[in-house]
Structure 1
Amino acid sequence: MRTDRLAREFPVEFRWYVFPLHPETPEEGMELTDLLKIPAEQLAPMQARVREVAAAEGLPLAERSRTYNSRRAQELGKWAETRGVGDAWRQAVYRAFFVEGRNIALVEELARLAVEVGLDGEAVKAVLAQERFAAAVDADWQRAEEAGISAVPSHICEGTRLVGFAKYQDFLRLIGRG
């Protein structure tokens, strides 16, 4: 990934914030065609273009027809960070959602993911029920709104924003090295 390369080559530190990507999506998910309000025949070519970009980055990305609500996964991501497995959690959630098509809104699914990264699957239920990290997610969502972020991925460095799957040269310019 370009951000991994950037971190290897330059003294940059990334801080990850979550974003309210379609928070209105119900727990059972919804069809992408309904979410995007497009006819079914437009979805496959659109996804093919996104998969090309992902492949160029070395990111696996499966064709999918549904999307799921990520709020609970975001809260658990904040918890995972406090346990030292934030990166592993982000990677596991990415794989589950974008590669395997798993419903990351379901508590039981999230508990399985937690175990995969070395967290206590039973603790997932308590963390979510007690809303231990809800305020942290709310703060990130507020920060995104205040920054005018409306798409992911978005990267910000000293007030300059880079949105979308940008070229490495664009990242170099973002950090003042290109």
Structure 2
Amino acid sequence: MDKLRKTYDIEVTWRAYPLQPDVPEHGLPMARLLEEKGLLITPEQATVNLKATAQSLGLPFGEGQMIYNSRLAQEIGLWAQDCGRVHQFHDAAFKAYFVDDRNLADNAVILDLVAFAGLDVEQAEEVIASRSYADAVDRDWAKARELELVAAPTFFMGDQRLVGAKPYPVLEKMVAGVLGQVQR
């Protein structure tokens, strides 16, 4: 007898996380950031580790020699979520940052990503000028501190938490486990 499959609608909500919030808008070389944090790893080792993780997940990864402030991208990301294009924007932002080494604190870069994601560039310019999503990012950052988040991504579903980039089967197992709890 074939097992009946149920389908579920899962709503994904993106939240801003303070990724290196003290990095200036023009960015920092990764070597300097590692040194400032007192980490005993070379930029080359860090890049090799990040590339290996990305490769294991089937994701591209560039050389990553610079670290940029992502605050503006987070604000526009929350706006993109309200516009129903959050996944398109985040996909473009991740590629720009992690593959193409583009500065997400640069308005021109953000507006390129907005256009690529199919969002209205003039509206995005207004959002940037008014910083109308700054308070929403502040609230997300406060929530991240409250939840003691230590890494991005962190996934929450029900009372489950999954930290770090994981392969799809790991996420699938989390969903199945939570759905199993709900069905009891």
Q: TM-score, normalised by structure 1?
A: 0.84
CA gap of 1:148–1:40, structure 2 versus 1, over 3 A, is closer
Do structure 1's residue 62 and structure 2's residue 26 form an aligned pair? no
1:96 aligns with 2:96: yes
Other-structure match for 2:22: 24
Structure 2: distance between partners of 1:159 and 1:146: 15
Aligned to 1:165: 165
Deviation at 1:120, TM superposition (A): 2.8
Say if 1:167 and 1:89 are closer, same or farther in 2 by CA, change over 3 A.
Answer: closer
Q: 1:91 Cα shift?
A: 0.4
Tell me the SS of whatever aligns to 1:25. coil
Task: Report matched runs for 1:15-164 at 5 Å.
Answer: 15-37=13-35, 42-164=42-164
* Cα gap change, 1:162 to 1:41, in 2 (>3 Å): closer
Give the paired residue count.
170
- Separation (CA, whole Å) in 2 of partners of 1:23 and 1:97: 15
Q: Cα gap change, 1:43/1:129 in structure 2, threshold over 3 Å: closer, same or farther?
A: same
Deviations 1:62-92 (A, max 9, x none): 1121011111111111111122211100001
TM-score, normalising length from structure 2?
0.82
- 3-state DSSP of counterpart to 1:113: helix
1:26 maps to a residue whose letter is P
CA 167–138 in structure 1, closer or farther in 2 if over 3 Å, else same: same
SS at match of 2:42: helix
Note the residue ranges of structure 1 that are not aligned, 5 or more in a row.
Answer: 1-8
Q: Which amino acid aligns with 1:114?
A: V
Query: In structure 2, how many angstroms separate the alpha carbons of the residues matched to 1:121 and 1:173?
Result: 39
Range with bigger deviation, 17-26 or 41-50: 41-50
Residues 34 and 43, structure 2, Cα contact 8 Å, conserved in 1: no
**Runs of at least 5 residues in structure 2 that lack an aligned partner in the other structure:** 1-6
Q: Do 2:70 and 2:104's aligned partners in 1 also have CA atoms closer than 8 Å?
A: yes
Which has the greater radius of gyration?
A: 2
